[in-house]
């Protein structure tokens, strides 16, 4: 039977192409891949599941405005498909103005989605004033000073992942685990839904349980090994909570720590 799927953090690489070659870029060299319409369709509805809710969608790249067709298609899909979205964020480099995408984002906002589009104002980017002036007309656009931690992120022009993400557990949910090659996919199941905490979908159409978008393409590809269009999200062995690796123990430790802090 088809499952109803909820995702907490969904990150989508709109494209791996980019019009800039910033020296600090964590991604490495641009690559000629665009998120496809087929991947978007399969992510919303397929033989295995129907997507019903996403707490936070984050669009990254490459330069997301380099793939306006898929960007528009995604927004229309959210608007027309019966899926609830709370937050929708996107980071762009401030060099391209995509009127149609901006107008669609405005529609998302009117539908009650918390839309945020931003450019990081940092020492490595340069901006087109005329583009930024146009983007600034929109209330959901933010031109913000980036908080770049050079020590942690700027290493020979490539950043290292340093963010383990939020803890997403409630006592009522039964916890399951699916194993993918050398990485894991974390799911929780309650009586009605299947919940995924972190799903990262690349411009190649592959997916994985990547909890950060601060990574280079090489690392992303090592974590995202299955294809949304061709592979199953669920067909690997389920490992029960008791048998989990250190990675989980770490999360459990963090959760226990949080609980203690709350109790103080």
Ligand X SMILES: C[S@@+](CC[C@H](N)C(=O)[O-])C[C@H]1O[C@@H](n2cnc3c(N)ncnc32)[C@H](O)[C@@H]1O
Which stretches of the chain bind ligand SF4, using CB under 6 A?
18, 20-22, 25, 27, 61-63, 93
26 binds ligand X, rule: CB under 6 A: yes
Per partner kind, with CB cut-offs from 5 to 8 A, the member of ligand X, ligand SF4, none near residue 98 is none
Q: Is 135 in the site for ligand X (CB under 6 A)?
A: no
Cα separations (Å) of 2 from 76, 107, 232?
A: 23, 30, 12
In DSSP terms, 179 is beta-bridged to 184
Per CB under 6 A, contacts with ligand X among 69-98 are 91-93
What are 209-213's contacts with CB under 8 Å, separation 24+?
209/180, 209/183, 209/184, 209/185, 210/11, 211/9, 211/163, 211/164, 211/165, 212/161, 212/162, 212/163, 212/164, 212/165, 213/11, 213/58, 213/60
Nearest one of 235, 172, 163 to 200, comparing CA atoms: 163
Applying CB under 6 A, does 46 fall inside the site for ligand X?
no
* Residue 94 or 208 having the CB closest to ligand SF4: 94
- The set of residues, in sequence order, having a beta carbon less than 8 Å from that of 75 and lying 6+ positions away, is 101, 104, 105, 107, 108
Residue nearer to ligand X on the CB measure, 149 or 181: 149
Contact partner, 92, from ligand X, ligand SF4, none, Cβ < 5-8 Å per class: ligand X
Q: Which of 74, 72, 69 is nearest to 11 (CA)?
A: 74
Q: Of these partners, ligand X, ligand SF4, none, which one is at the site of residue 21 (CB under 5 to 8 Å by kind)?
A: ligand SF4
Q: Where are the alpha helices (DSSP H) in 29-98?
A: 37-44, 68-80
Q: Least Å distance between CB 158 and ligand X? A: 6
Rounded-to-integer distance, Cα 93 and Cα 106, Å: 19
Under the criterion CB under 6 A, does residue 127 sit at the interface with ligand X? Answer: no
Could you tell me the smallest distance in angstroms from the CB atom of residue 230 to ligand X?
Answer: 27
Site for ligand X, residues 152 to 211, rule: CB under 6 A? 153-154, 159
Token digits of residue 196: 């995924």
In the complex with ligand X, which residue's Cβ is closer, 11 or 60?
A: 60
What's the rounded Cα separation, in Å, for the pair 134 and 263? Answer: 48
Per 3-state DSSP, what percentage of the chain is helix, strand, and coil (rounded to 5)? 30, 30, 40
Nearest approach, Cβ of 17 to ligand SF4 (angstroms)?
9
Judged by CB under 6 A, which of 72, 102, 132, 148 binds ligand X?
148
Closer residue to ligand X, CB minimum distance, 112 or 165: 165
Min dist. Cβ of residue 12 to ligand X (A): 12
* Binding site partner of 120, from ligand X, ligand SF4, none, Cβ cut-off 5-8 A by kind: ligand X
Interface with ligand X (CB under 6 A):
18, 24-27, 60-61, 63, 91-93, 120, 122, 124-125, 146, 148, 153-154, 159
């Amino acid at each position: 039977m088809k499952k109803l799927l909820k995702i907490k953090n969904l990150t989508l690489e709109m494209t791996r192409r980019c019009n800039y070659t910033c020296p600090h870029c964590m991604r490495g060299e641009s690559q000629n891949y665009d998120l496809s319409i087929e991947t978007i369709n399969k992510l919303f509805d397929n033989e295995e599941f129907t997507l019903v809710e996403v707490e936070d969608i984050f669009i990254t790249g490459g330069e997301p405005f380099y793939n306006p067709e898929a960007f528009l298609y995604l927004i229309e899909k959210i608007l027309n498909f019966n899926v609830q979205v709370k937050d929708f964020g996107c980071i762009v480099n401030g060099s391209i103005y995509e009127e149609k995408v901006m107008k669609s984002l405005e529609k998302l906002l009117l539908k009650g989605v918390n839309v945020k589009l931003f450019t990081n104002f940092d020492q490595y980017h340069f901006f087109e004033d005329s583009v930024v002036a146009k983007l600034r007309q929109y209330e959901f656009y933010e031109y913000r000073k980036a908080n770049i931690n050079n020590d942690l992120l700027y290493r020979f022009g490539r950043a290292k992942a340093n963010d383990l993400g939020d803890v997403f557990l409630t006592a009522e949910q039964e916890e399951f685990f699916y194993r993918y090659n050398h990485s894991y996919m974390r799911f929780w199941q309650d009586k009605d839904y299947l919940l995924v905490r972190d799903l990262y979908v690349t411009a190649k159409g592959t997916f994985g349980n990547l909890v950060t978008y601060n990574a280079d393409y090489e690392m992303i590809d090592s974590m995202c090994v299955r294809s949304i269009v061709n592979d199953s999200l669920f067909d690997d062995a389920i490992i029960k909570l008791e048998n989990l690796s250190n990675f989980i123990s770490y999360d459990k430790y963090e959760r226990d720590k949080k609980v203690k802090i709350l109790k103080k």
